[in-house]
């Protein structure tokens, strides 16, 4: 009986070790839902048992990104990419797309563009990479027509997802591009759509407000934009988007 109990414990330990990435993600979610980035990072670290795999590193990097620590996030992504040969089944296109957004935060736009195209080559059909290609142009205020084309592609990809859900940020990017093109009236519909369902998580809600605020700035509606920047700063004061919103409040 003792021998069987030991075998059972060993089997459970092996299963827990193999599932450490999923466990890290699930246990960190409650922390992220209240904007506790440090708590989420601690949870991911101990759940990894000292042996991070691509999923653990991806989660850690995403958390660092939302916590406004892009340089650290990039290092995690690079560490994960070093594991590609050992983990060929991982969804590497998702990691490349996430890295692209971090590189936008670091103002390394050419590298970001390469990451998004690499994600598409690896099979990203979610629309995230096309949305990233739009965002890197919007934040620079260049090639608005191209940005609009990319975000329209992103929306079409999202429609083909299993749930058919279009992320609010896609609509906000569409409105932002239209605003830059001087088509403010056309921008009103996607702008309203981007706000239709407020996101419950602070980092996502703040991102929603920042994208909408930037679209309104492009539409030459500074007073309306300021209200959204205020909301974004208040909902996630310790995060990336809260900081970005605060910068527009002066």
Find the mean pLDDT for residues 191-206. 90
Q: What number is the average pLDDT over the span 128-152?
A: 97
Q: What distance in Å separates the CA atoms of residue 26 and residue 22, rounded to the nearest whole number?
A: 6
Residue 1: its pLDDT value, please?
53
Comparing 114 with 26, the larger pLDDT belongs to 114
Q: Look at phi and psi of residue 107 and say left if phi exceeds 0, alpha if psi is from -120 to 50, else beta.
A: left
Q: Does the 13-87 domain belong in CATH 1.25.40? A: yes
Q: Is the dihedral of CA 95, 60, 163, 170 positive or negative?
A: negative
At 10, is the pLDDT very low, low, confident or very high (cuts 50, 70, 90)? very low
pTM: 0.90
Mean pLDDT of the region 71-92: 93
């Amino acid at each position: 009986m003792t021998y069987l109990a030991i075998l059972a414990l060993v089997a459970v330990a092996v299963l827990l070790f193999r599932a450490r990435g999923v466990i890290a993600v699930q246990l960190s979610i409650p922390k992220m839902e209240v904007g506790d980035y440090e708590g989420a990072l601690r949870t991911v670290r101990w759940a990894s048992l000292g042996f991070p795999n691509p999923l653990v590193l991806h989660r850690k990097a995403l958390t660092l990104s939302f916590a406004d620590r892009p340089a650290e996030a990039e290092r995690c992504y690079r560490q994960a990419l070093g594991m590609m040969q050992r983990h060929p089944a991982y969804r590497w296109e998702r990691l490349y797309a996430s890295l692209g957004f971090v590189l936008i935060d670091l103002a390394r736009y050419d590298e970001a563009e390469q990451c998004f195209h690499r994600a598409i080559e690896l099979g990203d059909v979610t629309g995230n990479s096309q949305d990233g290609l739009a965002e890197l142009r919007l934040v620079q205020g260049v090639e608005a027509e191209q940005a609009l084309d990319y975000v329209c592609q992103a929306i079409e990809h999202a429609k083909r997802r299993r749930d058919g859900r279009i992320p609010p940020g896609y609509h906000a990017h569409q409105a932002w591009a239209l605003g830059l093109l001087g088509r403010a009236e056309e921008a009103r519909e996607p702008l309203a759509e981007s706000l239709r369902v407020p996101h419950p998580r602070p980092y996502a809600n703040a991102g929603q407000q920042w994208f909408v605020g930037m679209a309104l700035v492009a539409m030459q509606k500074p007073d309306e934009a300021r209200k959204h920047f205020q909301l974004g700063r208040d909902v996630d004061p310790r995060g990336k988007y809260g900081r970005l919103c605060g910068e527009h409040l002066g």
